[in-house]
Structure 1
């Protein structure tokens, strides 16, 4: 399983289909199966306790989870994918929506995936999220992104180097209580980022975002 896509329940547009290739393994989480229809794809697996949408009528693979559990539906899907060898995971329908706690939970799930070796992208129509970890530098093409922001997400982010941007950094420390890394801009075809300690969240934003 080279690349897997998790579909969560926040609204997506048909344009998000660009993140999905024919050979990708697709897991829909609870009401996320509705997003599969929007994107014109069929889930390989549906998981959930179906507290936010009726249990779908399907002959495909499904895991029905208990209502009382520690994992969110998306966290369960992430764990399942790691156990089945996923190397890259993209989460769609995981940002925004009416409940902020779900967005924060999905960002935490992305960190769990990244710390366990997966290359992770969380995307919506206007942004992408990536994770920066020690020993795993990032090279992010400029594309049509306007802004690049970097936030520490579990304490200080240390030994930060960043090039190809308007505000470069070298062996810097970013702390959670001061947003030094917000709204940087590309000055090269790609930005290069690395760190020596902590965990970072990189947010790419389009000009119309």
Structure 2
């Protein structure tokens, strides 16, 4: 059964397989469309929610018995389970996607793959957020300012994700930037800090990854 097409600006949440804690329930909103990728259904259960859709090749967890919709993917495929889920949500018209259980864990390559999936969504105009217990990750898009609230974040970092970042501006930060260029071979944008209640980041060309991190301890 095909789910009804949501209205534009509808929110969706993708659960990937990196274990989460109950605190991550703060990222769930009433009415969110929930997609679990393979073992990600365990994270949904931990947070007390039932996925609207489960997708995966189920190489990391048994296929669950559920009355909801399940898409079983082949083991040999180009898309990761999470990227396939992102494509489904894009086709359904979602304009805001949060990924939980997509950072860290034992498989570094999965984190990098999920960052590339976030870039894929951002290039289609989707607002993307990846989060774990200590960090949030967003995509900085050319020509689209990104304003972030200070809250309890200790550090703000910006790295090129595709190409050089040119015309970079950072305001409201301890180390402001003006018409700067960030290149993939020099981490100039690491570990900046908020100097105001909000910080705004911009770039003219390139695509960047923005990471907010809480202090240790």
Does the residue aligned with 1:153 lie in a helix, a strand or coil?
Answer: strand
Q: Which residue of 2 aligns with 1:26?
A: 34
Cα drift, residue 208 of structure 1? 2.5
Is 2:189 the partner of 1:181?
Answer: yes
Is 2:154 the partner of 1:146?
Answer: yes
Question: In 2, distance between residues paired with 1:25 and 1:153?
Answer: 28
Question: In 2, distance between residues paired with 1:39 and 1:84?
Answer: 24
Q: Which runs of 5+ in 1 are unaligned?
A: none
Question: In 1, distance between residues paired with 2:109 and 2:71?
Answer: 23
TM-score by length of 2: 0.95
Q: How many pairs does the alignment contain?
A: 209
Is 2:122 the partner of 1:114?
Answer: yes
Does the residue aligned with 1:188 lie in a helix, a strand or coil?
Answer: coil
Cα drift, residue 140 of structure 1? 0.3
Q: Which residue of 1 aligns with 2:87?
A: 79
Runs of 4+ in structure 1 deviating by more than 3 angstroms, as ranges, are none
Question: In 1, distance between residues paired with 2:43 and 2:64?
Answer: 13
Q: Which residue of 2 aligns with 1:130?
A: 138
Q: Which runs of 5+ in 2 are unaligned?
A: 1-5
Question: In 2, distance between residues paired with 1:145 and 1:67?
Answer: 39
Of residues 106, 123, 130 in structure 2, which corresponds to 1:98?
Answer: 106
Of residues 62, 75, 94 in structure 2, which corresponds to 1:67?
Answer: 75
TM-score by length of 1: 0.98
Question: In 1, distance between residues paired with 2:202 and 2:70?
Answer: 39
Does the residue aligned with 1:5 lie in a helix, a strand or coil?
Answer: strand
Does the residue aligned with 2:154 lie in a helix, a strand or coil?
Answer: strand
Describe the superposition over 1:77-127 as per-residue Cα deviations: whole angstroms up to 9, x where unpaired.
000000001110000000111111111100110010111110000000000
